[in-house]
């Protein structure tokens, strides 16, 4: 399979809701395989299809649950359920990052509990549930991507300003730099 370039904040594919997958075709299977390759090359925890420029409701994940056991999988047409997100500024140690905002990490409030239901590549029901840990955060983060929302849009005002400054200093607000190759670790002008 192949490693695909990852879209960067400002790219329109990241700011639009994705479309439901109606049928798992060979192209969808190839996309999922490429997404796993891309996720591994970028050393990420999760990757949504629109992060590689495809507006389909699919994400892959490879991260630890609350028991530190690594879980890996794909969810097609995910539906998210989650607990309450604590109000106010999050703990400064609750850093979240994103492959579409490379090199930046900001404290982000998330629910401790999350469950995603959907299907796998064979049409079987998938239920992924996590209480705390990276997996609970990942399920919420990737589903947000598929809804056209980035984690920096969930930041409290304190951290949102820092994120805006970081995006501006990297030149991403112009959307001139729209992709980066995890194998080369550099943003590309497109």
Q: 39 exposed, middle or buried (CB, 10 Å; 0-12, 13-18, 19+)?
A: buried
pLDDT of residue 66: 74
Q: Residue 88: pLDDT band by 50, 70, 90 thresholds?
A: confident
Residue 17 has pLDDT above 60, yes or no: yes
Does 145 belong to an annotated binding site?
A: yes
Contacts of 123 (CB under 8 A, 6+ apart): 24
CA distance 49 to 58: 6
* pTM, entire model: 0.90
pLDDT digits (tens, 9 = 90+) for 125-142: 999 999 988 999 999 999
Spell out the SS3 assignment of the chain.
CCCCCEECCCCHHHHCCCECCCCCCHHHHHHHHHHHHHHHHHCCCEEEHHHHCCCECEEEEEEECCCCCEEEEEEEEEEEEECCCCCCCCCCCCEEECCCCCCCEEECCCCCEEEEEEECCCCCEEEEEEECHHHHHHHHHHHHHHCCCCHHHHCCHHHHHHHHHHHHHCCHHHCCEEEEECCCCEEEEC
pLDDT of residue 189: 39
pLDDT of residue 112: 93
Q: Are 115 and 80 in contact (CB under 8 A)?
A: yes
Its CATH architecture, for the domain 6-189, is Alpha-Beta Complex (3.90)
pLDDT of residue 118: 98
Residues classed as catalytic:
142
Instruction: Over range 92-117, report the average pLDDT.
Output: 94
Mean pLDDT of the chain: 90
Residue burial 79-117, b: 16+ Cβ < 10 Å; e: rest: ebebeeeeeeebeeeeebbbbbbbebebbbbbbbbbbbe
Long-range contacts at 168-175 (CB < 8 A, ≥ 24 apart): 170/103, 172/8, 172/9, 172/10, 172/101, 173/10, 174/10, 175/10, 175/11, 175/12
Q: Residue 168: pLDDT band by 50, 70, 90 thresholds?
A: confident
Residue 153 has pLDDT above 70, yes or no: yes
Does 141 belong to an annotated binding site?
A: yes
Ranking 103-112, 149-158, 179-188 by mean pLDDT, the lowest is 179-188
Per domain, the residue ranges of the chain are 6-189
pLDDT of residue 64: 80
Residue 177 has pLDDT above 60, yes or no: no
pLDDT of residue 70: 87
Residue 180 has pLDDT above 70, yes or no: no
Please list the residues that pair with 82 across neighbouring strands: 114
Residue 188 has pLDDT above 50, yes or no: no
Residue 32 has pLDDT above 80, yes or no: yes
Does 11 belong to an annotated binding site?
A: no
């Amino acid at each position: 399979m192949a490693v695909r370039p990852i879209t960067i904040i400002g790219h329109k594919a990241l700011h639009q809701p994705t479309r439901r997958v109606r049928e798992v075709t060979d192209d969808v299977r190839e996309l999922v395989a490429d997404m796993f390759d891309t996720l591994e090359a970028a050393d990420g925890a999760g990757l949504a299809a629109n992060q590689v420029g495809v507006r389909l409701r699919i994400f892959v994940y490879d991260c630890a649950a609350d028991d530190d056991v690594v879980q890996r999988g794909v969810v097609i047409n995910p539906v998210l359920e989650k607990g309450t997100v604590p109000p106010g500024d999050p703990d400064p140690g609750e850093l979240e990052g994103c492959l579409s905002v490379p090199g930046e990490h900001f404290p982000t409030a998330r629910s401790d509990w999350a469950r995603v239901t959907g299907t796998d590549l064979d049409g079987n029901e998938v239920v992924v549930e996590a209480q705390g840990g990276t997996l609970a955060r990942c399920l919420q983060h990737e589903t947000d991507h598929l809804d056209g929302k980035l984690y920096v849009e969930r930041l409290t005002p304190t951290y949102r300003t820092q994120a805006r400054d970081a995006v501006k200093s990297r030149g991403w607000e112009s959307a001139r730099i729209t992709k980066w190759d995890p194998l080369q670790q550099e943003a590309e002008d497109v």
